[in-house]
Structure 1
Amino acid sequence: MRPGKAWTIPALTLGLLVSTGAMADDTTLPAVQVNATRLDIPPFDLPASLSVIRVAPGASSKPGVNLSEALVGVPGILARDRQNYAQDEQVSLRGFGARSTFGVRGVRLYADGIPATMPDGQGQASHFSLDGADRIEVLRGPFSALYGNASGGVMQIWSAEGGTPAQVRVGLFAGSDASMRMGASARGMQGAFDYNLALSHFQTQGYRDHSRAQRESGNARLGFDLGSAGHLIVVANTLALPQAQDPLGLTRSQAWADPRQAAAPAYQFDTRKSVHQSQLGAVYEVSSSEQTQWRLMAYYGNRGVQQVLPVPVAAQRNPLSAGGVVDLDSDYGGVDARWTHRATLLGRPVELTAGASYDDQDQHRRGYENFAGSTLGVTGRLRRDEDDRVWNLDPYAQLYWRFAERWSALVGVRQSTVRFRSDDRYVTADNPDDSGSVRYRATLPVAGVQFRATDWLHLHASFGKGFETPTFAELSYRADGGAGLAFNLRPAVSQQGELGAKWHAAGSWSVDGALFRADTRNELAVASNVGGRASYRTIGRSRREGAEFAAQGELGPGWRLQLAATHVRARFLSPFLTCVPAGCTTPATPVAAGARIPGVPANYGSARLEHGGSLGWRVGVELQGVDAVTVNDLGRERAPGYLLTGVDLAYALPLGPSRLTLSARVDNLFDRRVIGSVIVNEGNGRYYEPAPGRTLMFGAQLAF
């Protein structure tokens, strides 16, 4: 699509929303309460782009391994399975977060209201439990600023409440590449106590060589109805990744010659990662009156990571090198206290929320050589030892006011303070004390207004200021090659705006569309990538703008359609210098203003057509399309776009009071050769992470 025509389809889409709405019946849909904006407001009445995805374990032919399985039909978000469980999924939203080489950054993550993103902005979705989930909420645009250190948006997963009758579900999936997943969950209620427990085990040999992985996870949500004393929810989860091999990226020629291969250094150093995490949290809510509610959330967790990297032995001869084995032990926790009051202002209903959040992460970071003598891929001498701490303190307030019969406004502000500190415990004659600290602060206002054109057509506009600090991973290595953290990096600040329309017709049909733009200053870019280490620097301005569209509903008896499409034009607005040749340490090659931000496709989308009910046969067809994407700042190489087709078939039959569901699924039906994800600005030119060809998955699930 040429830039000059990029806005034609979105503009027509919004026009279609208005004109189609004029033909609908005057119908008021039942409210579905969500928690994305911390207010007791249905998503249809919010001046923001919000998607709510219902998760129905046992009703899907997908194994529930990756978060991307549940995001079909959600606009704006792009979740790409790396086929590399040492690096987690690659998640971006409206172009934010695409440069992350591991984990999730630029998009804040929450599980049952408890942060899965650390105070520095780095998040992990690997402990999200689809077995116990009720829904996923994806908030896009300016109102993500109300969560602090995030620019692109907010994604939350919520566990289902236990109920009656009690239900137990067990499932087994097995398929291509010796992949197997077992899961079990139990939900129920005993008087004032309800529970939701889920356990899973996953293992795979991997599509690519040297990509074997094993993962166990558990999640528990316990609810206590305390009567007039309030309501208490306790959430506990664990994650064990004993070992996940890392096949690394491939060059273009390698990916096309043999997409299953791993890069040579992966074998030489036996690149791999292990993770162990445990976390406990609680949410207490109580109403002091019919108009006033108090909420207190607290959590604590520990996460340990050990990773062997392919850092060349020669690069570690530098006395400032941190080695090639990373050993992280993190204790983290936080609290969030919130007050909500409902009243009237000038005779119209108003809801006010005020609160403050504090999050803290203490991380013991050690680095070791990845060799001992002539043996590679082992833990050698200590080369880095430091205590790193980051905390944030964020007071916030927001107000929702229906100031007229058809008009409402949502305004808010958050004062965000993030402080990093590093205490160096590895000091030698050749490696000086690199302790230091830095503090970032920003005031983040946001405002939106909604016009209810009819009961079934709502229009909105919103604007806000976003804030994104460097993560510890990006601060870890200085661009000048020195030891210690890169305290000279500045936070990225974004101005975001959005125009949107929501049409919810009679029955179950809903159509949503939005035009958006985000202008960022102090964009972060790779300064150099040498010896397996990426360093970053602050450059100038950038812009991400585009449009998104989503629709879902019933086509006829038993037929249901979901579809979503997103267009993003992501560009650097300021020229800067970048590194090109392997081993480059000083950026010298110019990148012109207007260059595409790498890792962000111009167009992407998904669709699913399904037929069937809770019993008997169910068949589904899915399409997922992604445009070509540049892989480095210069745009000289790119991963081609693709359109993938998946089909699934399931049969559910009653067995007395139980139900057995058998399923089969084929992904990449036409066996396309695909680059599933890219490693932006990889210093050795190994940008490409191939996705599997045609794969099969068979499942059996029993609910009783």
Structure 2
Amino acid sequence: MVFLKKVLALLFMVLFPMMVSAQTVITVVDDENGNPIPGVLMRLSNQTKLIADENGQARANLNHQLTALFSHLAYEDLWKNLEPGKTDTVRLFKKTNSLSEVVVSSFGSARSLMEQAAAVSQLNEKELYRFNETSLVNAFNTRSGVRMEERAPGSYRISIRGSSLRAPFGVRNVKIYWDDIPFTAPDGTTPLNILDLSNVQNTEIIKGPAGSIYGAGNGGVISFTPKKIKANSANADLAIGDYGLLKYRLGMEQLLENGDIYASFVQQKSDGYRDHSALDRKVFNIGANFYPSNKQSISTQLLYSDLFYELPGGLTAEQVAENPQQTRPGSATQNASISQKSLYGTFVHEYDFNDKWSNKSAIYIQTTDFENPFNLDYKKETQYGYGGRTKFTLNDQWGQFPVRLLVGGEYQFSNTSAQNFGNQNGQADTVRFSDDLITTQGFLFQQIEVNWTKNMLMTLALSENFSRFDINRNIDASTGLSYAVERKFNPVWVPRLAFSAKINPFSALYGSMSAGFSPPTIDEVRTNEGSINLDLEAEKGINYEVGYRGNYGDGKINLDVSTFYFKLDETITTYTNEQGVVLFRNAGATDQKGIEAQIDYSLIRSNTAWLQQLKLGHAYSFHHFLFKDYVNDGENFSGNKLTGVPQNNLVNRLDLETQSGFYLNMTHQFVSELPLNDANTVMQDSYNLLNARIGWRGNLSNKLELEIYGGTDNLLDEQYSLGNDLNAFGGRYYQPAAPRNFYGGIKVKMRY
């Protein structure tokens, strides 16, 4: 009897889990078309792994609820709870693996990249994080036609199909938007260095003038999109590296019933490779998205940035050979540096009136405290400003032709109190001059898009632009007089005509003719030695372009190639006086011809193999940019190469991902020699950069994600300048960049 009881107990222990467990059937389908997706990997929280069969199905015997991670190389990851004994259909969202799937909002119209009649590049979140995560520089430089420079940590310049001649420091002549907010100030400058990489998820870059809908600027447009919230989570990141690099981030994301809220704090510090090149940046960002109904959405953000970085200054070739880490004489003694505290508040509202009409409006306010002791002077500025943008969209029929009409406008205002002092050993001395500066700019735009056929799209656009600045000089120590001047630019009409034609579902041709203009910034008119140059004219240009896009092999190969001719009149260039102050002048005209090409292809793309992805990419730019009709002080620079522009730029990328979570990113960049002065008598040598990052990312549990990474910049240990001082007085052209250096980090994300 005892033996029988033991046998029955043993049978009960064996059979009970089988009796209470039940088979769960999971079917995985494409969210867009409902087709089954074979090869989906399902990782259950009990460590079980399942793979969907050719019908997109898998079966599991469950005795309680489990959480599963669904992953496939061509689809976005998805977490989902599975119940015992139920039949469940899981819908996955496809990733954008081909150009026909990439949707961009360039020129105010959300269309696939294959339909866009413009040279547009996109950087997604994964591409932004292929490098050391301290700046956007390396990621931006993987795109043909784009050159981002970092003369010292935190000191950025960007040129798109052009030169940094107008930007001895800072970002000018490129229009930048952040969450549809005009982030470029009305005077044409952009404080790009106050943003952290974590404040950006996706980036769109329009190459060439886009004034028909974005106003002033010949250098193109950059649009940043903040991160979207997908789940409740808390995260912490830590990175360290050579030259005292320390960066940490704390963040949280919370889904609400009809929206979400998020907040983050980031601090980045480094001592810098060169003497007197330290950086300390703190960024706090809080934002929210609300969806009151299916017709409208509201988003709002508050960004506070506290930035400080030291300016080591330019060196001569002899000084670089002696010690590339040294500063320009006087920079450390005079505490040459920038301290900038900025606050931005934004509000964006979208509303669909009906199935035809919609509106998107955005407003912002901002304040900035700016302090800049320099070798020759000491500058203090306090600024406040506000602005906004609104766009109405109509989708309708014009007879048998689908039509999209866009009308809207943008307005910005800023008021700056600016004082320039003498610099006495790093302290502000006697005031030299003090000004109140008021800058306003605005424009109206209208654009019509007509589908003449199923595969032919025409775009016709026009903007009317207005700008002015007022300078009220309260103190002028050299004359003892106070006075006021103003500069009002005549209204500028900026047109654009473009066509795109699909050859087949996988390839398209486009062509465009677009105008642009760029008035001088207030810093170019009002210079650091106190002069006011009201004779400086706005740059005006027109761009002609044709291009081809195609994807082949189910999105495994993507090709984007274009050629352009940009004729720019009244080109603004720099020169330096004997005191070392940078001044500006118009230089006649420039002819800018170029070819740009980008190709990406996947050698391996498999969701079931250990090596899930092996992807290569190449980007090439050929820029034949010349001065035309440029004579100054008896010197004829006509026919010379445009200062600061390399003729050839080649980028090669390799990305490798494994099913176990290991990844490798390698990037090689070749930059040909480039002229450092208008006379083309001094050149920077060509150089090769090789960067590498290796890491592992995965899920330690159904709630905890971990990433560990390490990398090397300048693996070949090249000596180069990532941003030179152009037309520098005394031969101080060079800002040496760091040799081979290393970094590493860890990221933890906990879902709750």
- TM-score, normalised with respect to structure 2: 0.83
User: Per the alignment, do residues 220 and 353 of structure 1 end up closer, same or farther by CA in structure 2, a change over 3 Å counting?
Assistant: same
Which consecutive residues of structure 2, in runs of 5 or more, have no partner in the other structure?
1-96, 606-612
User: Per the alignment, do residues 29 and 634 of structure 1 end up closer, same or farther by CA in structure 2, a change over 3 Å counting?
Assistant: closer
The answer to whether the 8 A contact 1:424-1:435 is kept is: yes
114, 118, 121: which one pairs with 2:181?
114
How many angstroms apart in 2 are the aligned matches of 1:573 and 1:689?
Answer: 29
Partner of 2:363: 298
SS, match of residue 688 in structure 1: coil
- Per-residue CA deviation, residues 613-634 of structure 1 (Å, 9 max, x unaligned), is 4752111211012111111111
Q: Please state if 1:270 is matched with 2:335.
A: yes
- Per-residue CA deviation, residues 332-372 of structure 1 (Å, 9 max, x unaligned), is 1101122110001131211100001111111111111102x
Which consecutive residues of structure 1, in runs of 5 or more, have no partner in the other structure?
1-26, 312-323, 578-587
CA drift of 1:464 comes to 1.1
Q: Which segment is superposed worse, 527-536 or 493-502? A: 527-536
2:171 alignment partner AA: V
Alignment of 1:137-286 (within 5 A): 137-163=204-230, 165-227=231-293, 230-241=296-307, 243-286=308-351
Partner of 1:11: none
How many angstroms apart in 1 are the aligned matches of 2:575 and 2:331?
Answer: 24
Q: Please state if 1:382 is matched with 2:431.
A: yes
Partner of 1:572: 627
Partner of 1:633: 678
CA drift of 1:131 comes to 1.5
| CA radius of gyration, larger in | 2
The answer to whether the 8 A contact 1:63-1:181 is kept is: no
Q: Which segment is superposed worse, 659-668 or 30-39? A: 30-39
CA drift of 1:485 comes to 2.3
User: Per the alignment, do residues 522 and 281 of structure 1 end up closer, same or farther by CA in structure 2, a change over 3 Å counting?
Assistant: same
User: Per the alignment, do residues 465 and 90 of structure 1 end up closer, same or farther by CA in structure 2, a change over 3 Å counting?
Assistant: same
Partner of 2:601: 553
Partner of 1:329: 382
Partner of 1:473: 523
The answer to whether the 8 A contact 2:689-2:715 is kept is: yes
Q: Please state if 1:123 is matched with 2:190.
A: yes
CA drift of 1:563 comes to 2.2
How many angstroms apart in 1 are the aligned matches of 2:422 and 2:165?
Answer: 30
How many angstroms apart in 2 are the aligned matches of 1:183 and 1:634?
Answer: 46
SS, match of residue 48 in structure 1: coil
How many angstroms apart in 2 are the aligned matches of 1:303 and 1:442?
Answer: 29
Q: Please state if 1:62 is matched with 2:131.
A: yes
User: Per the alignment, do residues 145 and 309 of structure 1 end up closer, same or farther by CA in structure 2, a change over 3 Å counting?
Assistant: farther
Partner of 1:21: none
558, 568, 592: which one pairs with 1:520?
568
118, 124, 138: which one pairs with 1:48?
118
SS, match of residue 109 in structure 2: coil
The answer to whether the 8 A contact 1:291-1:343 is kept is: yes
2:582 alignment partner AA: A
SS, match of residue 65 in structure 1: coil
667, 675, 684: which one pairs with 1:622?
667
The answer to whether the 8 A contact 1:112-1:235 is kept is: no
2:120 alignment partner AA: L
Alignment of 1:370-519 (within 5 A): 370-371=423-424, 376-427=425-476, 430-440=479-489, 441-477=491-527, 483-505=530-552, 506-519=554-567
Partner of 2:83: none
User: Per the alignment, do residues 196 and 463 of structure 1 end up closer, same or farther by CA in structure 2, a change over 3 Å counting?
Assistant: farther
CA drift of 1:429 comes to 7.7
The answer to whether the 8 A contact 1:142-1:462 is kept is: no
CA drift of 1:547 comes to 0.8
The answer to whether the 8 A contact 2:164-2:644 is kept is: no
The answer to whether the 8 A contact 1:61-1:649 is kept is: no
CA drift of 1:188 comes to 3.6
The answer to whether the 8 A contact 2:98-2:556 is kept is: no
The answer to whether the 8 A contact 1:654-1:660 is kept is: yes
2:484 alignment partner AA: S
Identical aligned residues as a percent: 20
CA drift of 1:665 comes to 0.2
CA drift of 1:297 comes to 0.9
How many angstroms apart in 1 are the aligned matches of 2:343 and 2:669?
Answer: 34
SS, match of residue 184 in structure 2: coil
634, 640, 655: which one pairs with 1:610?
655
2:151 alignment partner AA: R
The answer to whether the 8 A contact 1:410-1:447 is kept is: yes
CA drift of 1:404 comes to 1.2
- Per-residue CA deviation, residues 111-156 of structure 1 (Å, 9 max, x unaligned), is 1111221112111211333224321110112435421111011011
* Greater relative contact order (Cα < 8 A, sep 6+): 1
- Per-residue CA deviation, residues 53-88 of structure 1 (Å, 9 max, x unaligned), is 11149x946342211133253111011222343xx2
CA drift of 1:269 comes to 1.3
